Amino acid sequence: MSFADKSFSFEFFPTKTEAGHEKLMAVARQLAAYQPEFFSCTYGAGGSTRDRTFDTVMQLEREVQVPAAPHLSCVGDSKAELRQLLAQYRDAGIKRIVALRGDLPSGMGMAASELRHANDLVEFIRAETGDHFHIEVAAYPEMHPQARNLEDDLAHFARKAKAGADSAITQYFFNADSYFYFVERIRKLGVEIPIVPGIMPITNYSKLARFSEACGAEIPRWIRKQLEAYNDDSASIQAFGEEVISRMCEQLLVGGAPGLHFYTLNQAQASLAIWKNLGGAA
Protein backbone atom coordinates (compact mmCIF):
# COMPACT_ATOMS: atom_id res chain seq x y z
CA MET A 1 0.00 0.00 0.00
CA SER A 2 1.22 3.50 -0.82
CA PHE A 3 0.69 6.64 1.22
CA ALA A 4 0.92 8.70 -1.97
CA ASP A 5 -2.59 10.13 -1.68
CA LYS A 6 -2.80 10.03 2.13
CA SER A 7 -1.64 12.45 4.82
CA PHE A 8 0.04 11.39 8.01
CA SER A 9 1.24 13.22 11.10
CA PHE A 10 2.71 12.64 14.55
CA GLU A 11 1.85 13.99 17.99
CA PHE A 12 4.26 14.86 20.82
CA PHE A 13 3.81 16.17 24.34
CA PRO A 14 6.09 18.86 25.85
CA THR A 15 8.45 17.45 28.46
CA LYS A 16 9.36 18.68 31.93
CA THR A 17 13.10 18.00 31.77
CA GLU A 18 15.93 19.01 29.46
CA ALA A 19 16.83 15.35 28.90
CA GLY A 20 13.25 14.57 27.93
CA HIS A 21 13.18 17.51 25.55
CA GLU A 22 16.41 16.43 23.86
CA LYS A 23 14.93 12.96 23.37
CA LEU A 24 11.75 14.48 21.91
CA MET A 25 13.77 16.50 19.41
CA ALA A 26 15.82 13.45 18.43
CA VAL A 27 12.60 11.48 17.80
CA ALA A 28 11.21 14.40 15.78
CA ARG A 29 14.33 14.49 13.59
CA GLN A 30 14.03 10.75 13.01
CA LEU A 31 10.36 11.03 12.02
CA ALA A 32 11.00 14.10 9.87
CA ALA A 33 12.85 11.86 7.39
CA TYR A 34 9.45 10.40 6.48
CA GLN A 35 8.11 13.82 5.44
CA PRO A 36 4.95 13.97 7.57
CA GLU A 37 2.37 16.65 6.88
CA PHE A 38 2.85 18.10 10.37
CA PHE A 39 3.81 17.47 13.98
CA SER A 40 1.33 18.40 16.70
CA CYS A 41 2.19 19.28 20.29
CA THR A 42 -0.21 18.90 23.20
CA TYR A 43 -1.34 21.51 25.72
CA GLY A 44 -1.68 20.59 29.40
CA ALA A 45 -4.87 20.82 31.45
CA GLY A 46 -5.88 24.45 31.90
CA GLY A 47 -2.95 25.63 29.78
CA SER A 48 -0.46 24.20 32.29
CA THR A 49 2.17 23.58 29.59
CA ARG A 50 1.53 26.82 27.66
CA ASP A 51 5.13 28.02 27.59
CA ARG A 52 6.61 24.57 27.04
CA THR A 53 4.17 23.89 24.22
CA PHE A 54 5.05 27.21 22.59
CA ASP A 55 8.81 26.63 22.91
CA THR A 56 8.55 23.07 21.58
CA VAL A 57 6.48 24.16 18.60
CA MET A 58 8.92 26.93 17.76
CA GLN A 59 11.89 24.56 17.91
CA LEU A 60 10.15 21.92 15.78
CA GLU A 61 9.32 24.55 13.19
CA ARG A 62 12.80 26.11 13.13
CA GLU A 63 15.16 23.18 13.60
CA VAL A 64 13.32 20.12 12.33
CA GLN A 65 11.57 22.06 9.57
CA VAL A 66 8.33 20.13 9.68
CA PRO A 67 5.18 22.28 10.05
CA ALA A 68 4.17 22.30 13.71
CA ALA A 69 0.60 22.48 15.02
CA PRO A 70 0.17 23.52 18.64
CA HIS A 71 -2.81 22.32 20.61
CA LEU A 72 -4.81 25.20 22.03
CA SER A 73 -7.55 24.85 24.62
CA CYS A 74 -10.01 27.36 26.00
CA VAL A 75 -10.38 25.93 29.52
CA GLY A 76 -8.54 28.15 31.99
CA ASP A 77 -7.40 30.74 29.44
CA SER A 78 -9.01 34.16 29.02
CA LYS A 79 -9.80 35.63 25.63
CA ALA A 80 -6.95 38.09 26.15
CA GLU A 81 -4.48 35.26 26.79
CA LEU A 82 -5.73 33.32 23.78
CA ARG A 83 -5.59 36.43 21.61
CA GLN A 84 -1.96 37.02 22.60
CA LEU A 85 -0.99 33.40 21.98
CA LEU A 86 -2.68 33.34 18.57
CA ALA A 87 -0.82 36.51 17.61
CA GLN A 88 2.49 34.96 18.67
CA TYR A 89 1.83 31.84 16.61
CA ARG A 90 0.69 33.86 13.60
CA ASP A 91 3.73 36.13 13.78
CA ALA A 92 6.00 33.07 14.00
CA GLY A 93 4.52 31.64 10.80
CA ILE A 94 2.53 28.81 12.37
CA LYS A 95 -0.28 27.82 10.01
CA ARG A 96 -2.16 25.07 11.86
CA ILE A 97 -3.90 24.93 15.25
CA VAL A 98 -5.51 21.97 17.02
CA ALA A 99 -8.46 23.61 18.82
CA LEU A 100 -9.81 21.77 21.86
CA ARG A 101 -11.98 22.48 24.85
CA GLY A 102 -9.23 20.99 26.99
CA ASP A 103 -9.19 19.15 30.28
CA LEU A 104 -10.24 20.78 33.53
CA PRO A 105 -7.46 20.95 36.12
CA SER A 106 -8.37 19.58 39.53
CA GLY A 107 -10.59 22.02 41.38
CA MET A 108 -11.40 24.20 38.36
CA GLY A 109 -14.97 24.62 37.17
CA MET A 110 -16.12 25.62 33.70
CA ALA A 111 -17.22 28.97 35.15
CA ALA A 112 -13.54 29.97 35.16
CA SER A 113 -13.46 29.99 31.34
CA GLU A 114 -14.72 32.74 29.05
CA LEU A 115 -15.04 30.19 26.25
CA ARG A 116 -16.76 27.01 27.38
CA HIS A 117 -16.71 24.70 24.37
CA ALA A 118 -14.44 23.82 21.47
CA ASN A 119 -16.85 25.32 18.94
CA ASP A 120 -16.59 28.63 20.86
CA LEU A 121 -12.81 28.44 20.51
CA VAL A 122 -13.03 27.71 16.78
CA GLU A 123 -15.33 30.72 16.32
CA PHE A 124 -12.94 32.87 18.37
CA ILE A 125 -9.90 31.84 16.31
CA ARG A 126 -11.75 32.60 13.08
CA ALA A 127 -12.92 35.98 14.38
CA GLU A 128 -9.40 36.92 15.49
CA THR A 129 -7.32 35.53 12.63
CA GLY A 130 -9.63 34.92 9.67
CA ASP A 131 -8.41 32.09 7.48
CA HIS A 132 -4.76 32.26 8.56
CA PHE A 133 -4.89 28.99 10.50
CA HIS A 134 -5.91 25.53 9.35
CA ILE A 135 -8.01 24.48 12.36
CA GLU A 136 -8.11 20.87 13.50
CA VAL A 137 -10.69 19.69 16.02
CA ALA A 138 -11.17 16.45 17.93
CA ALA A 139 -13.57 13.66 17.03
CA TYR A 140 -14.69 10.76 19.22
CA PRO A 141 -15.79 7.67 17.26
CA GLU A 142 -16.72 5.90 20.50
CA MET A 143 -18.28 9.03 22.03
CA HIS A 144 -16.66 11.63 24.28
CA PRO A 145 -16.55 10.24 27.84
CA GLN A 146 -18.49 13.27 29.15
CA ALA A 147 -21.16 13.30 26.43
CA ARG A 148 -24.73 12.51 27.49
CA ASN A 149 -25.30 10.23 24.52
CA LEU A 150 -24.06 9.56 20.99
CA GLU A 151 -26.60 11.86 19.35
CA ASP A 152 -25.48 14.83 21.47
CA ASP A 153 -21.85 14.04 20.74
CA LEU A 154 -22.44 13.94 16.98
CA ALA A 155 -24.32 17.23 17.16
CA HIS A 156 -21.48 18.82 19.12
CA PHE A 157 -18.95 17.68 16.52
CA ALA A 158 -21.12 19.14 13.77
CA ARG A 159 -21.15 22.49 15.63
CA LYS A 160 -17.34 22.50 15.71
CA ALA A 161 -17.17 21.82 11.99
CA LYS A 162 -19.74 24.49 11.15
CA ALA A 163 -17.94 27.00 13.39
CA GLY A 164 -15.04 26.91 10.96
CA ALA A 165 -12.94 23.79 11.51
CA ASP A 166 -11.03 22.56 8.46
CA SER A 167 -10.47 18.94 9.52
CA ALA A 168 -10.55 16.63 12.51
CA ILE A 169 -8.37 14.08 14.28
CA THR A 170 -10.05 11.30 16.22
CA GLN A 171 -9.41 9.92 19.64
CA TYR A 172 -7.66 6.57 19.23
CA PHE A 173 -9.71 3.39 18.94
CA PHE A 174 -9.12 -0.29 18.18
CA ASN A 175 -12.20 -1.07 16.11
CA ALA A 176 -12.18 0.33 12.58
CA ASP A 177 -15.96 -0.02 12.33
CA SER A 178 -16.40 2.61 15.05
CA TYR A 179 -14.54 5.09 12.82
CA PHE A 180 -16.50 4.22 9.69
CA TYR A 181 -19.82 4.41 11.54
CA PHE A 182 -18.91 7.79 13.03
CA VAL A 183 -17.96 9.20 9.62
CA GLU A 184 -21.15 7.84 8.06
CA ARG A 185 -23.32 9.46 10.73
CA ILE A 186 -21.46 12.78 10.49
CA ARG A 187 -21.83 12.89 6.71
CA LYS A 188 -25.58 12.48 7.14
CA LEU A 189 -25.51 15.66 9.25
CA GLY A 190 -24.01 17.51 6.29
CA VAL A 191 -20.43 17.69 7.63
CA GLU A 192 -17.85 17.05 4.92
CA ILE A 193 -14.51 17.97 6.54
CA PRO A 194 -11.78 15.29 6.47
CA ILE A 195 -11.70 13.11 9.60
CA VAL A 196 -8.29 11.54 10.21
CA PRO A 197 -8.05 8.48 12.49
CA GLY A 198 -5.86 8.90 15.56
CA ILE A 199 -3.62 5.85 16.02
CA MET A 200 -2.20 4.67 19.33
CA PRO A 201 0.54 2.03 18.97
CA ILE A 202 0.38 -0.75 21.57
CA THR A 203 3.64 -1.05 23.52
CA ASN A 204 2.66 -1.32 27.19
CA TYR A 205 -0.62 -2.83 28.37
CA SER A 206 -0.86 -1.25 31.84
CA LYS A 207 -0.29 2.27 30.49
CA LEU A 208 -2.69 1.67 27.62
CA ALA A 209 -5.39 0.44 30.02
CA ARG A 210 -5.02 3.59 32.16
CA PHE A 211 -5.12 5.93 29.15
CA SER A 212 -8.11 4.13 27.69
CA GLU A 213 -10.09 4.21 30.92
CA ALA A 214 -9.53 7.95 31.23
CA CYS A 215 -10.43 8.87 27.66
CA GLY A 216 -13.20 6.37 26.99
CA ALA A 217 -11.38 4.33 24.33
CA GLU A 218 -12.62 0.75 24.25
CA ILE A 219 -10.02 -2.04 24.22
CA PRO A 220 -11.77 -5.04 22.61
CA ARG A 221 -11.92 -8.08 24.85
CA TRP A 222 -9.85 -10.27 22.53
CA ILE A 223 -7.04 -7.70 22.47
CA ARG A 224 -7.21 -7.20 26.23
CA LYS A 225 -7.09 -10.93 26.97
CA GLN A 226 -4.12 -11.49 24.66
CA LEU A 227 -2.21 -8.59 26.18
CA GLU A 228 -2.98 -9.87 29.70
CA ALA A 229 -1.68 -13.30 28.71
CA TYR A 230 1.71 -11.83 27.81
CA ASN A 231 2.15 -10.42 31.35
CA ASP A 232 5.51 -8.59 31.37
CA ASP A 233 6.75 -10.01 28.05
CA SER A 234 7.28 -6.62 26.41
CA ALA A 235 8.66 -8.07 23.16
CA SER A 236 5.52 -10.16 22.62
CA ILE A 237 3.27 -7.22 23.54
CA GLN A 238 5.02 -5.00 21.01
CA ALA A 239 4.96 -7.63 18.25
CA PHE A 240 1.26 -8.34 18.82
CA GLY A 241 0.45 -4.63 19.03
CA GLU A 242 2.33 -3.87 15.83
CA GLU A 243 0.44 -6.58 13.95
CA VAL A 244 -3.00 -5.60 15.28
CA ILE A 245 -2.58 -1.86 14.68
CA SER A 246 -0.99 -2.34 11.25
CA ARG A 247 -3.96 -4.44 10.14
CA MET A 248 -6.41 -1.86 11.45
CA CYS A 249 -4.55 0.98 9.71
CA GLU A 250 -4.64 -0.90 6.42
CA GLN A 251 -8.38 -1.44 6.85
CA LEU A 252 -8.88 2.27 7.57
CA LEU A 253 -6.87 3.44 4.56
CA VAL A 254 -8.47 0.95 2.17
CA GLY A 255 -11.86 2.02 3.51
CA GLY A 256 -11.26 5.66 2.63
CA ALA A 257 -9.63 7.29 5.66
CA PRO A 258 -7.72 10.38 4.42
CA GLY A 259 -4.61 9.55 6.44
CA LEU A 260 -3.34 8.65 9.91
CA HIS A 261 -2.28 10.66 12.96
CA PHE A 262 0.05 8.77 15.31
CA TYR A 263 0.06 9.37 19.06
CA THR A 264 3.78 8.73 19.53
CA LEU A 265 4.15 9.30 23.28
CA ASN A 266 7.48 10.84 22.22
CA GLN A 267 8.71 7.51 20.81
CA ALA A 268 9.49 6.70 17.18
CA GLN A 269 9.92 2.94 16.96
CA ALA A 270 6.33 1.71 17.25
CA SER A 271 4.85 4.28 14.86
CA LEU A 272 7.58 3.68 12.29
CA ALA A 273 7.10 -0.10 12.48
CA ILE A 274 3.43 0.35 11.59
CA TRP A 275 4.31 2.84 8.85
CA LYS A 276 6.78 0.38 7.28
CA ASN A 277 4.26 -2.47 7.47
CA LEU A 278 1.94 -0.30 5.40
CA GLY A 279 4.60 0.08 2.71
CA GLY A 280 6.04 3.40 3.75
CA ALA A 281 9.67 4.32 3.18
CA ALA A 282 11.86 7.29 3.94
Active site members: 11
User: What b/e string do you get for 104-139 counting C-beta neighbours within 10 Å, with b at 16 or more?
Assistant: beeeeeeeebebebbbbbbbbbbeebeeebbbbbbb
Residue 140: count of CB within 10 angstroms of its CB: 24
Shortest CA distance to 70 belongs to which of 78, 61, 62, 79?
A: 61
Residue type, 134: H
Bridge partners (DSSP) of residue 167 are 136
Alpha-carbon span 161 to 191, nearest angstrom = 7
